[in-house]
């Protein structure tokens, strides 16, 4: 990681509140993002995987980003997720993020047609930038092969960087694989390498990683920041690990949404968009007891 970069710390991958018409509840989203920032997150990332980014249209996401800006949010604290298999959709989001002054964009590779080798992935990213009018906005590559089918190996990262240059400033590695995460850190000392997994956060940071972009800061932002800063005891690490295991073992983002809805007493956080179903009341109650919420 570049020692002079500001692209580090805990980045809250925001859940998306949804109103009764299945539209984004922008006011609730703004309040939630500002809460995470006030609790120590350096940035927030809306419309990534945790934010159901693949379930909203590009028009919905663009309108929400513009509305957040109009409501007075500091968009330089935003690193919006761009999850789109269409070059035009991804480019529209990238262009909007740049125009609004966002810090960077977190862009996943194409996730329907499998790319024809490294060149296909590189061509996709290059086409996004060109179609957006080549704005000067940093890119964080999104390594989540479970959804995209495209693993960001060191070879692929090198090829993307060779084509896009200094525009690529980081990687979010959502695999939870410590060995591969450490390899990325060692291979790209000038990039900000983030994990999405609390269980390996402290070891990634100790090895030169930039921090995390993840879902747990939605509920526990201060604990995530403490974990990032390091020096915690085994009990703290164990509690963080048990939290993510409990959440991921019960649907991941739908558990986060149900628990955050209760925390804020805000119904718009509870239901996800189809095809996801909301968490059952039984599991919701059991999780609250297990996590002391």
3-state helix, strand, coil in the chain (%, to 5): 50, 15, 40
Catalytic residue among 8, 30, 61, 142: 142
Q: List all residues 6 or more positions away from 248 whose beta carbon is below 8 Å from its beta carbon.
A: none
On whether 16 is known to bind a ligand per the annotation, the reply is no
Distance CA(209)–CA(178), nearest Å, equals 11
172 part of the active site:
yes
Catalytic residue among 172, 228, 257, 271: 172
Torsion sign over Cα 263, 97, 210, 50: positive
Say if CB 24 and CB 212 are below 8 A apart: no
Please name every residue paired with 211 in a beta bridge, in sequence order, or none if there are none: 9, 194
Q: List all residues 6 or more positions away from 185 whose beta carbon is below 8 Å from its beta carbon.
A: 1, 193, 204, 207, 208, 209
* Residue 80: C-alpha distances to residues 3, 157, 212 (Å): 23, 20, 15
Phi-psi sector, 193: left (phi>0), alpha (psi -120 to 50), beta: beta
142 part of the active site:
yes
Q: Which residues does the annotation mark as catalytic?
A: 142, 172
Annotation: binding site for pyruvate: 50, 213
Annotation: binding site: 50, 213
């Amino acid at each position: 990681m570049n020692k002079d970069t500001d692209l580090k710390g805990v980045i809250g991958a925001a859940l998306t509140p949804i109103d009764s018409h299945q539209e984004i509840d922008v006011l609730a989203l703004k309040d939630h993002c500002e809460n995470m920032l006030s609790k120590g997150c350096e940035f927030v990332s809306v419309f990534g995987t945790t934010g159901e980014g693949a379930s909203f249209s590009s028009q919905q996401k663009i309108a929400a980003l513009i509305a957040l800006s109009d409501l007075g949010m500091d968009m330089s604290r935003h690193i919006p997720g761009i999850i789109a298999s269409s070059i035009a959709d991804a480019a529209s989001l990238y262009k909007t993020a740049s125009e609004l002054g966002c810090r960077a964009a977190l862009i996943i590779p194409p996730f329907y047609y499998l790319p024809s080798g490294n060149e296909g992935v590189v061509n996709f990213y290059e086409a996004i930038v060109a179609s957006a009018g080549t704005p000067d906005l940093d890119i964080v590559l999104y390594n989540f092969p479970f959804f995209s089918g495209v693993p960001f190996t060191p070879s692929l990262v090198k090829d993307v960087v060779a084509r896009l240059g200094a525009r690529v400033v980081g990687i979010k590695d959502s695999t939870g694989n410590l060995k591969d995460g450490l390899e990325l850190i060692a291979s790209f000392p000038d990039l900000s390498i983030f994990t999405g997994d609390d269980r390996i956060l402290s070891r990634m940071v100790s090895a030169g990683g930039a921090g995390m972009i993840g879902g747990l800061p939605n509920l526990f932002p201060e604990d995530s920041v403490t974990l990032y800063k390091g020096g915690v005891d085994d009990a703290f690490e164990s509690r963080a690990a048990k939290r993510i295991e409990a959440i991921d073992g019960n649907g991941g983002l739908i558990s986060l949404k149900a628990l955050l809805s209760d925390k804020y007493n805000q119904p718009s956080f509870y239901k996800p968009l189809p095809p996801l179903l909301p968490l059952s009341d039984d599991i919701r109650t059991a999780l609250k007891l297990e996590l002391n919420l």
